[in-house]
């Protein structure tokens, strides 16, 4: 009997963990798509700042940019598609 209670508690905990994980995995950028600026505008902005762009794609509701920044570092950077503010940036691996 005791093992059934423990098993039920563990199953309930696992179910809660999975549902909480799904909530955390939401989009980084929340801007409605109708308010986004074109990817080309972001590319032109970054290139005018000295970036060399390899690829721009949409990921987690953001523009994800792969390229080399003005300092020559290979970067993977997420930008808000409305303001072009940096959401997350890290060296490309």
| Each residue's pLDDT tens digit, 4-49 | 544 444 444 444 443 333 334 457 899 999 999 999 999 999 999 9
Residue 58 in any domain: the answer is: yes
Residue 18 in any domain: the answer is: no
| Each residue's pLDDT tens digit, 54-78 | 999 999 999 999 999 999 999 999 9
- Whose tokens are 């990921």? That residue is 59
Query: Where in the sequence is the domain holding 46, given as residue range(s)?
Result: 28-91
**Would you call 85 helix, strand, or coil by DSSP?**
coil
pLDDT of residue 52 exceeding 70, the answer is: yes
pLDDT at res. 29:
93
Tally of domains in the chain: 1
* Listed residue (66, 71, 70) closest to 93, CA to CA: 66
In this structure, what CATH number is given to the domain that contains residue 70? 3.10.450
pLDDT at res. 47:
98
Give the CA-trace dihedral at 23, 26, 28, 30, to 10 degrees.
-110
């Amino acid at each position: 009997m005791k093992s059934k209670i423990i098993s039920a508690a563990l199953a309930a905990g696992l179910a809660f963990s999975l549902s909480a994980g799904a909530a955390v995995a939401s989009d980084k950028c929340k801007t409605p798509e109708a308010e986004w600026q074109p990817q080309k505008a972001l590319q032109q902005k970054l290139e005018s700042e000295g970036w060399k762009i390899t690829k721009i794609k949409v990921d987690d509701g953001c523009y994800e940019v792969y390229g080399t920044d003005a300092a020559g570092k290979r970067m993977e950077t997420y930008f808000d598609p409305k303001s072009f503010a940096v959401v997350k940036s890290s060296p490309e691996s």
